[in-house]
Structure 1
Amino acid sequence: MRKSKFSEEQIIAILAAQERGMATAEVCRCHGVSSATFYKWKARFGGLDVSDARRLKTLEIENARLKKLLADSMLDVSILKDLLGKN
Structure 2
Amino acid sequence: MFSSEQKVLIVMEGIRGELSVAELCRKYGISDSTYYKWNKEFIEAGKACLEGDMLREATSSEVQELRFQNQELKLALAELVLRYDIVKKLETLRISSQHQKYMRYTAEEKEEIIRAVKSSEVNISESLRYLGIPKRSFYNWYHKYSVGGLEALRSKPSGSPHT
TM-score, with length taken from structure 1: 0.50
Which structure exhibits the higher relative contact order, with contacts defined as CA atoms closer than 8 Å and separated by 6 or more residues?
A: 1
